[in-house]
């Protein structure tokens, strides 16, 4: 909060109203051994203008600046954001609004969420979308728990090409549950190996990511067929929804649940957050969905209105009946993605997706010509894996000194892939930037 308007008189009046003598009295219930005994080691106070100058100096000293060329995606993507997004998002009726518990006075917020749900469902090709969740990782974990509730089976199969951080969150969610997570390996072309699925029983869901962590497009038709043969739900997750402006969306392949990260839709990276969990499913599973769902109705006079149609959280129903007990709506981030998608429109979304694809293909082609190996043959979107020779670690550090970040080393996630790097290109990277990268690593 940038400004606190309370005077000493205001504070005294509020303390008197609640029946205490001082601010310290408000914390009398906190045991003495849990309180700080010494003063905070803070620098002397600054004026408002001195503080602004100090923050500007700190910001100017940070490594991330327009001078740096970052070929790094891996679940967080840098896209140009239309000015319409930040302008509309900063309007007070959106920026200061809170959870819409009272529909009769929250129509604007509810309508904004309803529009987000509509755009999300259309983008993903699904029947119904919820009001959003924390991020892509928690959305996938919630989707797998939803599949267990629906099928009453105790195993879930998850591709090793799902984002490693997502898989870690799944393990955290499932650790106390007793449900089993089965890892599906990847094949030589950079997609999920489905051969082990035929031997599995009691399977609740099969989950893959497309584009996957290597940037490769999965054969969703084959995955869906395997899942149905096992009487398991077919779950598709994603970290780059822009891909569905060019490739068929999960709904086209009869996915049961689709979920993932919406950060690339109008939300800046901002050093790792906030993010946006997108979640959609078939209509028949709507009562098992986590989170909130805003619906459209009419009032007694026949006027259109919006209400919370579904709210399966412990604040609304009994805890043991709740489908999710964590944050179930990143409303402001959902609004940002809505404005972004509406600003681009259907044709703009497709054009931007094609531009990202073409730029990525250009860099892949230039690296091949320079003699570097691209180990996976499957089609990609936005990012891809390249194998550099031994000793590239030193070159990587040298490139950082030249303000070039040449992707993400994969060995820490996949020990069998030393000297492999995940490189990403979006519309923010120019041809000159790519040529400079290739020239610097030759």
Number of alpha carbons in the 13 Å side-chain half-sphere of residue 192 = 31
- Average the pLDDT over 160-174 and give the result: 97
> Which pLDDT score is estimated for 312?
66
Do the two domains 69-82+345-441 and 83-341 of this chain adopt the same fold?
no
Burial bucket for residue 20 (CB in 10 Å: 0-12, 13-18, 19+): middle
> Which pLDDT score is estimated for 422?
98
Judged by DSSP in three states, 140 sits in helix
* 352 touches 427 (CB < 8 A): yes
> Which pLDDT score is estimated for 345?
95
* Lowest mean per-residue pLDDT among 57-61, 189-193, 257-261, 304-308: 57-61
Pairwise CA distance, residues 318 & 281, whole Å: 24
> Which pLDDT score is estimated for 270?
85
Instruction: Tell me the average pLDDT of the chain.
Output: 91
> Which pLDDT score is estimated for 98?
60
Highest-confidence segment of 57-61, 83-87, 270-274: 83-87
> Which pLDDT score is estimated for 114?
95
* 142 — pLDDT class (breaks 50, 70, 90): very high
DSSP 310-377: EE-STTTS-GGG-S--S----HHHHHHHHHHHHHHHHHHHHHHHHHHHHHHHHHHHHHHHTT-B----
> Which pLDDT score is estimated for 94?
80
Pairwise CA distance, residues 208 & 140, whole Å: 10
Q: pTM of the entire structure?
A: 0.86
Q: Which residue has the higher pLDDT, 65 or 432?
A: 432
> Which pLDDT score is estimated for 108?
85
> Which pLDDT score is estimated for 381?
97
Q: Which residue has the higher pLDDT, 117 or 310?
A: 117
Token pair for 72: 């790094």
Question: Could you tell me which CATH number the domain at 69-82+345-441 has?
Answer: 3.90.1150.10
- Which one, of 275, 15, 247, 283, lies nearest residue 129 by Cα? 283
Pairwise CA distance, residues 237 & 146, whole Å: 14
- For 384-420, the pLDDT digits (tens) are 999 999 989 899 999 998 989 999 999 999 999 999 9
Whether domain 83-341 has CATH 3.40.1400.10: the reply is no
- For 228-278, the pLDDT digits (tens) are 999 999 999 999 999 999 999 999 999 999 999 999 999 998 888 889 999
Pairwise CA distance, residues 162 & 393, whole Å: 25
Which alpha helices (H) appear in 193-327, and where do they start and end?
220-229
Going from N- to C-terminal start, the domains of the chain cover: 69-82+345-441, 83-341
């Amino acid at each position: 909060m940038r400004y606190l308007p309370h005077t000493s008189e205001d504070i005294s009046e509020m303390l008197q109203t609640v029946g205490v003598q001082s601010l310290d009295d408000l914390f009398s219930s906190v045991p003495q051994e849990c309180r700080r005994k010494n003063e905070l080691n803070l620098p002397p106070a600054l004026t408002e203008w001195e503080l602004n100058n100090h923050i500007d100096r700190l910001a100017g000293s940070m490594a991330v600046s327009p001078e740096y060329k970052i070929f790094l995606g891996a679940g967080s993507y840098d896209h140009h954001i239309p000015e319409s997004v930040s302008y509309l998002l900063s309007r007070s009726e959106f920026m200061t609004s809170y959870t819409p518990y009272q529909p009769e006075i929250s129509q604007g917020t509810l309508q904004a969420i309803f529009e987000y749900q509509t755009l999300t469902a259309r983008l993903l090709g699904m029947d119904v979308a919820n009001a959003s969740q924390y991020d892509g990782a928690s959305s996938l974990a919630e989707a797998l728990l939803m599949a267990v509730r629906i099928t009453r089976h105790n195993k879930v199969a998850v591709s090793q090409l799902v984002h490693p951080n997502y898989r870690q969150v799944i393990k955290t969610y499932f650790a106390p549950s007793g449900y089993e997570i089965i890892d599906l390996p990847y094949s030589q072309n950079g997609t999920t190996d489905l051969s082990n699925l035929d031997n599995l029983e009691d399977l609740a869901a099969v989950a893959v990511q497309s584009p996957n962590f290597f940037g490769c497009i999965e054969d969703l038709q084959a995955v869906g067929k395997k899942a149905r043969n096992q009487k398991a739900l077919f779950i598709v997750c994603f970290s780059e929804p822009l891909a569905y402006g060019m490739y068929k969306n999960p709904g086209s392949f009869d996915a049961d649940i689709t979920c993932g990260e919406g950060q690339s839709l109008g939300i800046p990276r901002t050093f790792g957050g906030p993010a946006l969990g997108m979640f959609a499913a078939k209509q028949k599973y709507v009562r098992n969905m986590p989170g909130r769902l805003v619906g459209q109705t009419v009032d007694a006079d026949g006027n259109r209105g919006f209400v919370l149609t579904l709210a399966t959280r412990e604040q609304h129903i009994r805890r043991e009946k709740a489908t999710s007990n964590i944050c179930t709506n990143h409303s402001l981030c959902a609004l940002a993605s809505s404005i972004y998608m509406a600003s681009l429109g259907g044709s703009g979304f497709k054009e931007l997706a094609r531009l990202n694809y073409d730029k990525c293909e250009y860099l892949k082609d230039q690296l091949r010509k320079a003699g570097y190996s691209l180990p996976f043959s499957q089609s990609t979107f936005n990012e891809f894996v390249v194998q550099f020779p031994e000793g590239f670690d030193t070159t990587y550090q040298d490139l950082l000194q030249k303000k070039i970040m040449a992707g993400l080393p994969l060995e820490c996630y996949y020990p069998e892939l030393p000297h492999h790097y995940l490189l990403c290109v979006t519309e923010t990277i120019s041809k000159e930037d790519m040529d400079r990268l290739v020239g610097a690593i030759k």
